[in-house]
Amino acid sequence: MSSHAHLIISAANPQKINLSDIIRDLKKFTAAQIIREIEAGPESRQEWLLDKFRFAAGKNSRNTQYQFWQQNNHAEELLTNHFTDQKLQYIHQNPVQEGWVEQAQHYLYSSARDYSGLQGLVPITFID
């Protein structure tokens, strides 16, 4: 999705690694990478995007220059197989509901591709 991301993630060792730490580090790393690409690349909306990120940073004292991600997230613990499957289907159907594609596996940035036998962009671990 262009304005948000859906993830199903887990900690390899939940006793040693907190999921909130994983989300924090993921946001920090991806924000830095995306902003670096916008600054360096031939992005036609470069100034507009950077201005939006500067404006968002100005509303939060923890930021020095840009804010790419929102400070909050909507984490839900997946305690049952049924609930996990429900969330996975919601994620896969999101681009269909938005009208971007007719079938979930046609959305290039979705793991629905992997689940349908196509090659996805990011390696995933399948949920049984």
pLDDT per position as a tens digit, 18-69: 888 888 899 999 999 999 999 998 889 999 999 999 998 988 887 779 999 9
Query: Which residues lie closer than 8 Å to 92 by C-beta, 6 or more apart?
Result: 104, 110, 111, 112, 115
CA-to-CA distance for 99 and 11, rounded, in angstroms? Answer: 33
What is the structure's pLDDT at 97? 95
pLDDT tops 90 at residue 83? yes
**Region at 117 (left for phi over 0; alpha for psi -120 to 50; beta for the rest):** left
Q: Is 56 helix (H, G, I), strand (E, B) or coil?
A: helix
**Nearest in space to 91 (alpha carbons), one of 119, 124, 49:** 124
pLDDT of the residue at 126? 85
